[in-house]
Amino acid sequence: MEHVSSNWVPIRKPHNCWGCTTETKPPEKMMRVTEADGPKIYSVYWCEKCNAFLNNNPDLFGPDDGFCYGEVGQMISEVES
């Protein structure tokens, strides 16, 4: 798995955040992370909240660890409760 790019993009249709599964609607911006898995290229979207959480907690995951869908949202609610 190879990281290709990540940048804030104004979304044109609703996307569910990979981290917390919350739907974000246009014209909000989301962090689009593009990765390559061999010949396959795919993108996932992160909401602002998950992105900030990951930036604030860089020790929770190593750079090569993946996330399960919704996993970050669970961690956020654990931290906040």
Strands (DSSP E) found in the chain: 2-10, 15-16, 23-24, 29-37, 40-46
- Of the pair 23, 37, the CB lying nearest Zn ion is at 23
Using CB atoms within 10 Å of the CB of residue 70, give its burial: 0 to 12 exposed, 13 to 18 middle, 19+ buried: middle
> 38 to 77, contacts with Zn ion by CB under 5 A?
47, 50
Q: How far is the CB of 32 from Zn ion (least distance, A)?
A: 13
**Site size toward Zn ion, by CB under 5 A:** 5
Angle between helix 48-56 and 71-80 (nearest 10): 70
Q: How far is the CB of 16 from Zn ion (least distance, A)?
A: 9
Token pair of 12, please?
């044109």
- Of the pair 17, 75, the CB lying nearest Zn ion is at 17
19 binds Zn ion (CB under 5 A): yes
Residues that bind Zn ion (CB under 5 A): 17, 19-20, 47, 50
